[in-house]
Amino acid sequence: MTATDGVFLVSAAVALVGALLAVGLRNIFHNILGFALAMLGVAGVFACLGSDFLAAVFVLVYVGAVAIAMVYAVMLSHPLDQPHRPRNGWKIAGAALLATVVAATLWSVLRLAPWPVLVPGGDNGAALTGTRFLSDYVLAFELVSVLLVVAMMGAVMVARRQRPGRGTW
Amino acid sequence: MSLSFVLGVATALFGIGLYGLLQRRSLVAMLISLELMLASISINVIALTTLTGQEPSLGQVVVLIFVGVAAAEVAIALSLFVAIHRAAHDIDVEHLSELKG
C-alpha cells in the first residue's frame, strides 16, 4: 500500500462520514458543516487521482463559496426557530430502502461493466486543461460564464425585497 | 487504489445523497443532498477518465463545467429559498402546498 493509497482511504472515509453527517444530523447548521467536510474529502479523492487543480477548485468553490452561501441562506430563513415536528417512520424507511436499491443497482451495473483498464497516464495538469478550455471547448467555457452571470442577476432579482407601491419589476 | 474501489465510494456517496434528498424536509438540506450526488458523479467522471488511461484533461474539463453549473444552481436555489421563506415563513416542503389540488 503506497502513500497515495493511504491518503485516498482517509479522503474517502472523510467524504463518506461528512456525507452521513450532512444528511443525518437534525440541526441544519451541522448539516452544512458536514457538507463542507464531505467536499474536503472529495477534494482529497481528486488529489489522489492526480487532479490537483480540481481539488483546489472544489475546496474554493464548495467549502469556500457554496457552504458560506448556505450559511447565509439559513441565517436569513432561520429554520432553527421552527418547532420540531415528529417524523413519519415509514417515510424514512422508504427513503432508505429506495436509496439502497438504487445504489445497489448502480453498483452492480458499474461493477459488471467492462471498463478498459489501461495504464493510467496522460497529462492531467492544469495547463493542458486550460488550453483545452480556450481551444476545443471555448463555447462551453463561454456558456458557463454567461450562465453564471444570468444566475447571479436572477438570484438578486428573486431574493430582492419587493417595495410596496411599485410594480413587479 | 483500484478503479472499482473509487467507483464504490462514489456510489455510496450517491446513495447517501439520494437518501437525504428523499428523507429531509428542509429545502436547504435537500439542496445539500443534491450537491453530494453531483460530487459523486464528478468522482466517477474523474476516475473513469484518469484510471482507464483515456484523456484525463477531458474529464477535468467536464467536471469544471459541472462545478460552474452547480454553482449557478446553488445561487438560484438559495435566493429562491429566501424568497419562499419571506412569502410563506417556512421552508419545510411538506408545508409548501398552496398549489396542491
Size of interface A-B (CB pairs under 8 A): 231
- Closest CA relative to residue A153, chosen from A142, A145, A164: A145
All residues of chain A having their beta carbon less than 8 Å from the beta carbon of residue B46 are: 46, 49, 51, 54
- Confidence (pLDDT) at B94: 74
Residue A111: the pLDDT is 84
| Domain ranges, ordered by start, for chain B | 3-95
Q: What is the mean pLDDT of residues A139-161?
A: 91
Cell 437534525 -> residue: A26
Contact between chains at B60 and A111 (C-beta distance less than 8 A):
no
Instruction: Choose the closest CB to B32 out of A22, A54, A140.
Output: A22
The average pLDDT across A36-49 equals 93
Among A53-57, A138-142, B54-58, the minimum mean pLDDT is found in: B54-58
Query: Is B60's CB within 8 Å of A147's CB?
Result: no
Q: B76 and A151: CB-CB below 8 Å?
A: yes
Interchain proximity A22–B9, CB inside 8 Å: no
Predicted local confidence at residue B26, as pLDDT: 85
Torsion on CA atoms A24, A100, A109, A48, rounded to nearest 10: 20
In chain B, residues with a C-beta closer than 8 Å to the C-beta of A121 are 53
> In Å, how far are A59, A79, A95, B26 from A84, measured between CA atoms?
33, 10, 20, 12
Cα separation, B38 vs B34, whole angstroms: 6
B56, three cell numbers: 484525463
By CA distance, what is A15's nearest residue in B?
B13
Phi then psi dihedrals of residue B70, to 5 deg: -65, -35
The complex's ipTM? 0.90
Residue A88 and residue B23: Cα distance in Å, rounded? 10
Does residue A77 have a pLDDT over 80?
Answer: no
* Residues B57-82: tens digit of each pLDDT: 888 899 999 999 999 999 999 998 88
Residue B91 has pLDDT above 90, yes or no: no
Q: Give pLDDT, residue A83.
A: 64
List B92's β-bridge partners, or say none. Answer: B26
Please tell us whether the domain made up of B3-95 is placed in CATH 1.10.287.3510: yes
pTM of this structure: 0.88
Contact between B11 and A107 using a beta-carbon 8 Å cutoff? yes
The residue written with cell numbers 457554496 in the block is A66
Percent of chain A residues past pLDDT 90, beyond the cut = 46
Angstrom distance (rounded) from CA A146 to CA A155: 14
